[in-house]
């Protein structure tokens, strides 16, 4: 695997590699886990070449968020990428991505898909995501970009970005990868204390209860959300940020759940924020 740290080196390496062949791209912030590995495997299966980026993007973190303590382990990531046969790793510095003194003087501002849920609670987050993804797509110029369903709103925002700004990349969304007890893999799971790690699967199990109630014929979004709330409230240490049932592309909240709706929730367990979702079939 080649590791490229500047945009110039990367674009040269990319064009040396590609002669009309397909390139699969997995954008990440590193600290790779089984969820990322699934994206890389899928990209490997479907493309001649695979590019992964590792960049902890400062513009998508709020002032009080975890940019400084965001977990990083380059050697481990590098071994994983070698093992799964990634061809190019784009691993730029912050200065390489944001050379002006104030990071990101020009931003890409996503529209309505970014307003609710994560966007409402993390102001500026999706502006940072849309900006860095635009930059990465311009640099990498992939045939297909692979995203995890775990970040359901991010998927909706990036799909709309690609459509509205005429990027040529295809988007492939890969199902959430879970630990044996149901907890979705996330780099931030490493913040969980032992006790809270044991409790964390309740987020997914509460979503599962609502989705099986939906399958049993109860389509009232209010009722399904109430069921999730009741499950989560059983643990007094959990703080609920939101529970939502929304159409999964527009992210507009619905009154009646239907196929294609995303049931999602965000909670705090101690000082760890967890998100998860299920898309109804």
Segment 225-264, which members bind ligand PAF (CB under 6 A)? none
Q: Does 132 bind ligand PAF (CB under 6 A)?
A: yes
Q: Cα–Cα distance between 113 and 267 in angstroms, integer?
A: 20
Q: Which two tokens stand for residue 38?
A: 């699934």
Cα dist from 225 to 11, 138, 183, 242, 265, whole Å: 47, 39, 19, 10, 9
Give the nearest distance from C-beta 236 to ligand PAF in angstroms. 31
Give the nearest distance from C-beta 148 to ligand PAF in angstroms. 7
Give the nearest distance from C-beta 61 to ligand PAF in angstroms. 10
* Single residue of 151, 167, 204, 280 touching ligand PAF by CB under 6 A: 151
Q: Does 113 bind ligand PAF (CB under 6 A)?
A: no
Give the nearest distance from C-beta 69 to ligand PAF in angstroms. 16
* Strand stretches in 21-94, DSSP E: 23-28, 49-54, 88-90
- Name, in order, each residue with C-beta under 8 angstroms of 103's C-beta and a sequence gap of 6 or more: 58, 59, 94
* Single residue of 32, 43, 51, 129 touching ligand PAF by CB under 6 A: 129
* Strand stretches in 87-199, DSSP E: 88-90, 144-148, 170-174
Residue 100: φ, ψ to 5°: -75, 160
* Single residue of 51, 117, 133, 263 touching ligand PAF by CB under 6 A: 133
Segment 14-43, which members bind ligand PAF (CB under 6 A)? 27-29
- Give the nearer residue to ligand PAF in terms of CB position, either 77 or 151: 151
- Give the nearer residue to ligand PAF in terms of CB position, either 126 or 214: 126
Q: Cα–Cα distance between 74 and 30 in angstroms, integer?
A: 7
Q: Among this protein's residues, is 33 annotated catalytic?
A: no
């Amino acid at each position: 695997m080649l590791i490229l740290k500047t945009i110039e080196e990367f674009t040269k390496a990319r064009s040396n590699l590609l002669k009309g062949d397909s390139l699969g791209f997995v954008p990440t912030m590193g600290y790779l886990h089984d969820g990322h590995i699934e994206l890389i495997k899928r990209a490997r299966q479907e493309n001649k070449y695979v590019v992964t980026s590792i960049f902890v993007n400062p513009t998508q973190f709020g002032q009080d968020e975890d940019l400084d303590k965001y977990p990083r382990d380059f050697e481990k990531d590098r071994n994983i990428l070698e093992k799964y046969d990634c061809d190019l790793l784009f691993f730029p510095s912050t200065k390489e991505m944001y050379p002006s003194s104030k990071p990101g003087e020009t931003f890409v501002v996503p529209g309505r898909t970014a307003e609710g849920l994560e966007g409402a609670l993390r102001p500026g987050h999706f502006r940072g995501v849309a900006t860095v993804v635009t930059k990465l797509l311009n640099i990498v110029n992939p045939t297909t970009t692979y995203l995890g369903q775990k970040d359901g709103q991010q998927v909706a925002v990036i799909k709309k970005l690609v459509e509205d700004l005429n990027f040529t990349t295809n988007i492939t969304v890969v199902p959430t990868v879970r630990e044996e007890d149901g907890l979705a893999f996330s780099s931030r799971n490493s913040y969980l204390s032992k006790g809270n790690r044991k409790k964390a699967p309740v987020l997914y199990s509460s979503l599962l209860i609502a989705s099986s109630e939906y399958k049993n014929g109860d389509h009232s979004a209010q009722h399904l959300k109430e069921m999730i709330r009741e499950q989560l409230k059983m643990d007094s240490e959990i703080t609920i940020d939101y529970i939502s049932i929304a159409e999964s592309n527009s992210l507009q909240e619905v009154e009646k759940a239907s196929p294609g709706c995303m049931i999602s929730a965000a909670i705090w367990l101690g000082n760890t924020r967890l998100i998860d979702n299920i898309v109804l079939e």
